[in-house]
Amino acid sequence: MSVAPPLSDAEVPAFWRALGLPGLVDIHTHFMPERVLAAVWRYFDDAPVPGGGGWPIHYRVDEAQRVARLRAMGVRAFTALSYPHKPDMAEWLNGWGAAFADGHPDCVASATFYPEPSADRYVAEALDGGARVFKAHLQVGAYDPRDPLLTPVWARLSDAGVAVVVHAGSGPQPGPFTGPGPFGEVLRRHPDLTAVIAHMGGGEYHEFLTLALRYPNVHLDTTMTFTDFMAKIHRYPADLLPVLAEHPDRVVLGTDFPNIPHPYAHQLEVLVGLGMSDDWLRAVCHDNGARLLGVGPADVPSPA
What's the pLDDT tens digit per position in 201-242? 998 999 999 999 999 999 999 999 999 999 988 999 999 999
Who contacts 122 (Cβ-Cβ below 8 Å, separation ≥6)?
A: 90, 91, 94, 113
- Which neighbouring-strand residues pair with 137? 167
SS3 75: strand
**Domain 9-293: top CATH class:** alpha beta
| Annotated domain spans of the chain | 9-293
DSSP-derived secondary structure for 6-46:
PSSGGGHHHHHHHTT-S-EE-S------HHHHHHHHHHHHH
What's the pLDDT tens digit per position in 97-144? 999 999 999 999 999 999 999 999 999 999 999 999 999 999 999 999
Q: Which residue numbers in the chain have pLDDT < 70?
A: 1, 51-52, 298-304
pTM tops 0.85: yes
How does 279-293 read in b/e, with b if 16+ C-beta sit within 10 Å?
ebbbbbbbbbbbebb
Who contacts 95 (Cβ-Cβ below 8 Å, separation ≥6)?
A: none
87 vs 22: CA distance, rounded Å:
40
